[in-house]
Amino acid sequence: MKLERILPYAKKLLTKAVKPGDIAIDATLGNGYDTVFLAELVGETGKVYGFDVQEEAIAASHARLSEHGMLERVTLLHEGHENIKQKILAVDYGRITGAIFNLGYLPGSDKTIVTKPNTTISAIEQLLEIMEPEGIIILVIYHGHEEGAIERDALLEYCRKIDQKSAHVLTYQFINQQKNPPFIVAIEKR
Ligand code: SAH
């Protein structure tokens, strides 16, 4: 297939936005794969802040980062991403160039712990306020389950209304696949 798949495309956008020395945010640590990816992008001189409300996700991410020798450049926070502004050092605000939200629940874990539109939207608004112009926020939307479809609708409604003077917003999605695989919304601050 020549068309770029969803997750590689998300990574490509983050690679364009996040450079060595920058600050990046993993808003939903989960198993920590994206955290490692962002930690590679920011390099030794940058920093990643990772958020998750589950202790298990913090532990999994800690182990993965340790394996890659990248713990020093990552701050792991057992906190909801809706507290993003409060938890990030003010000196770091203008250096944030990328953020990713992997939404829904963590496979193999407690399926009742899911991301919620209100807190996701609150985090996006805070990020749009503090991040650097041309910084990119990626939402990976898993809408194959019932709650995921509700989350998708709420987020799309919100994202469509973001003032075009403040951000560019796109969706990238295969629209003829079975089982509703994930798609992305990318938001670039202007
Ligand atoms: N659906 C994805 C994985 C999503 S993991 C996939 O299939 O690959 C989503 C993570 O978000 C979970 O680890 C969960 O604990 C976390 N989470 C839920 N609400 C959160 C919040 N308010 N702030 C930060 N993390 C949250």
Chain segment 43-63, per-residue pLDDT in tens: 999 999 999 999 999 999 999
pLDDT value for 145? 87
Cα separation, 78 vs 75, whole angstroms: 10
The residue whose CA has the least distance to atom 25 of ligand 1 is 52
CB distance 81 to ligand 1 below 6 Å: yes
The residue whose CA has the least distance to atom 11 of ligand 1 is 28
Tokens of 79: 């906190």
What does pLDDT average to over the chain? 96
Q: What is the mean pLDDT of residues 109-129?
A: 94
Taking the centre of ligand 1 as the mean of its atom positions, its distance from the CA of residue 76, in whole angstroms, is: 14
CB distance 135 to ligand 1 below 6 Å: no
pLDDT value for 112? 87
**CA of 119, closest atom in ligand 1:** 22
With a cut of 90, say whether residue 109 has pLDDT above it: no
pLDDT value for 29? 98
With a cut of 90, say whether residue 111 has pLDDT above it: no
The per-residue pLDDT for range 131-190, each reduced to its tens digit, is 999 999 999 999 998 889 999 999 999 999 999 999 999 999 999 999 999 999 999 999
Taking the centre of ligand 1 as the mean of its atom positions, its distance from the CA of residue 80, in whole angstroms, is: 10
End-to-end Cα separation, the chain, in angstroms: 32
With a cut of 90, say whether residue 65 has pLDDT above it: yes
Cα separation, 161 vs 146, whole angstroms: 24
pTM of the model: 0.97
The residue whose CA has the least distance to atom 23 of ligand 1 is 80
CB distance 119 to ligand 1 below 6 Å: yes
CB distance 31 to ligand 1 below 6 Å: no
Domains in the chain (CATH in brackets) are 6-189 (3.40.50.150)
